Structure 1
Amino acid sequence: MESFVYTTSPSHVIFGPAGKSSSQLLNRLECREHHAVLILSTPGQAEKANVLAHALTPNTVGVFSKAAMHTPIEITREAVQAAEDLKADSIVSIGGGSTIGLGKAISIRTGLRHFCIPTTYAGSEMTPILGETVDGIKTTRRDIAIIPETVIYDVSLTMSLPLAISITSGINAIAHAVEALYAPDTNPIIRLMAKEGIGALSQALLIITASPQDLEARTKALYGAWLCGVCLGSTTMSLHHKLCHTLGGSFNLPHAETHAILLPHTFAYNSPAVPSAARDLAYALGDAEGDAVKALNSLLDRLSVSRALSNYGLREEDLGRAASIAVRNPYGNPRKVEEGKIQELIRRAWAGEHAKADL
Structure 2
Amino acid sequence: MNLTFEHTTLGQRVLFGSGRAAENLAAEVARFGATKVMVITSESHLSMARKVAVGIDVTLWHTDVVMHVPVETAEAARAAAGGAEIDLLICIGGGSTTGLAKAVALSTGIPIIAVPTTYAGSEATNVWGLTEAGRKTTGVDNRVLPATVVYDAALTLELPLDMSVASGLNAVAHCIDSLWGPRADPINAALAVEGIRALAEGLRLIKADPSAVTGREQTLYGAYLAAVSFASAGSGMHHKICHVLGGTFNLPHAQTHAAVLPYVLAFNAPAAPEAEARTAAALGSDTAIEGLQLLCGELDAPNALKDYGFALEGVAEAVELVLPAIPAGNPRPVSAANLAELLTGALNGADPTNLTYT
SS of the residue corresponding to residue 6 of structure 1 reads: coil
SS of the residue corresponding to residue 55 of structure 1 reads: coil
- Is the Cα contact below 8 Å between 1:297 and 1:355 reproduced in 2? no
Alpha-carbon deviation of 1:124? 0.8
Q: TM-score, normalised by structure 1?
A: 0.96
Structure 2 counterpart of 1:268: 266
1:217–1:53: structure 2 CA closer, same or farther, 3 Å change rule? closer
Alpha-carbon deviation of 1:51? 2.8
Tell me how far apart the structure 2 counterparts of residues 77 and 136 of structure 1 sit (CA, whole Å).
Answer: 17
Tell me how far apart the structure 1 counterparts of residues 183 and 327 of structure 2 sit (CA, whole Å).
Answer: 13
User: Residue 317 in 1 paired to residue 318 in 2?
Assistant: no
What are the superposed Cα offsets for residues 221-275 of structure 1, whole Å, 9 maximum, x if unpaired?
1111110010111112111001100100000000000000000101111112211
Tell me how far apart the structure 2 counterparts of residues 50 and 28 of structure 1 sit (CA, whole Å).
Answer: 16
User: Residue 296 in 1 paired to residue 292 in 2?
Assistant: yes
Taking only the aligned residue pairs, the percentage that are identical comes to: 38
2:227 maps to a residue whose letter is G
Alpha-carbon deviation of 1:306? 2.5
Tell me how far apart the structure 1 counterparts of residues 130 and 138 of structure 2 sit (CA, whole Å).
Answer: 6
- Is the Cα contact below 8 Å between 1:269 and 1:358 reproduced in 2? no
1:293 maps to a residue whose letter is I
Alpha-carbon deviation of 1:54? 3.6
2:19 maps to a residue whose letter is G
Tell me how far apart the structure 2 counterparts of residues 131 and 201 of structure 1 sit (CA, whole Å).
Answer: 25
Alpha-carbon deviation of 1:184? 3.8
What are the superposed Cα offsets for residues 72-95 of structure 1, whole Å, 9 maximum, x if unpaired?
111000111111122211110001
The count of residues paired between Structure 1 and Structure 2 equals 354
Structure 1 counterpart of 2:350: 353
- Residue correspondence of structure 1 range 1-359 to structure 2 within 5 A: 1-16=2-17, 18-56=18-56, 59-287=57-285, 289=286, 291-332=287-328, 333-356=330-353, 358-359=356-357
Tell me how far apart the structure 2 counterparts of residues 273 and 203 of structure 1 sit (CA, whole Å).
Answer: 27
Unaligned runs of at least 5 residues, structure 2? none
1:31 maps to a residue whose letter is R
What are the superposed Cα offsets for residues 26-55 of structure 1, whole Å, 9 maximum, x if unpaired?
111111110211101122212222333443
1:45 maps to a residue whose letter is H
2:79 maps to a residue whose letter is Q
Tell me how far apart the structure 1 counterparts of residues 315 and 71 of structure 2 sit (CA, whole Å).
Answer: 26
SS of the residue corresponding to residue 182 of structure 1 reads: coil
Tell me how far apart the structure 2 counterparts of residues 324 and 293 of structure 1 sit (CA, whole Å).
Answer: 27
Tell me how far apart the structure 2 counterparts of residues 248 and 27 of structure 1 sit (CA, whole Å).
Answer: 36
What are the superposed Cα offsets for residues 303-332 of structure 1, whole Å, 9 maximum, x if unpaired?
001311001111111111111111133334
Tell me how far apart the structure 2 counterparts of residues 331 and 78 of structure 1 sit (CA, whole Å).
Answer: 33
Alpha-carbon deviation of 1:71? 1.1
Tell me how far apart the structure 1 counterparts of residues 104 and 327 of structure 2 sit (CA, whole Å).
Answer: 25
1:129 maps to a residue whose letter is V
SS of the residue corresponding to residue 59 of structure 2 reads: strand
Q: TM-score, normalised by structure 2?
A: 0.96
SS of the residue corresponding to residue 133 of structure 1 reads: strand
2:344 maps to a residue whose letter is R
Tell me how far apart the structure 1 counterparts of residues 104 and 228 of structure 2 sit (CA, whole Å).
Answer: 21
Alpha-carbon deviation of 1:153? 0.4
Tell me how far apart the structure 2 counterparts of residues 13 and 330 of structure 1 sit (CA, whole Å).
Answer: 32
SS of the residue corresponding to residue 327 of structure 1 reads: helix
- Is the Cα contact below 8 Å between 1:50 and 1:63 reproduced in 2? no
Alpha-carbon deviation of 1:292? 1.0
- Is the Cα contact below 8 Å between 2:319 and 2:339 reproduced in 1? yes
Higher mean C-alpha displacement, 27-36 vs 274-283: 27-36
Unaligned runs of at least 5 residues, structure 1? none
Alpha-carbon deviation of 1:24? 1.3
Alpha-carbon deviation of 1:19? 1.7
Tell me how far apart the structure 1 counterparts of residues 24 and 53 of structure 2 sit (CA, whole Å).
Answer: 14
- Is the Cα contact below 8 Å between 1:91 and 1:103 reproduced in 2? yes
1:55 maps to a residue whose letter is G
2:123 maps to a residue whose letter is E
- Is the Cα contact below 8 Å between 2:25 and 2:53 reproduced in 1? no
2:59 maps to a residue whose letter is V
Tell me how far apart the structure 2 counterparts of residues 207 and 345 of structure 1 sit (CA, whole Å).
Answer: 31
- Is the Cα contact below 8 Å between 2:90 and 2:114 reproduced in 1? yes
Tell me how far apart the structure 2 counterparts of residues 155 and 140 of structure 1 sit (CA, whole Å).
Answer: 28
SS of the residue corresponding to residue 60 of structure 1 reads: coil
Higher mean C-alpha displacement, 45-54 vs 230-239: 45-54
- Is the Cα contact below 8 Å between 2:22 and 2:54 reproduced in 1? no
1:50 maps to a residue whose letter is R
- Is the Cα contact below 8 Å between 2:182 and 2:327 reproduced in 1? no
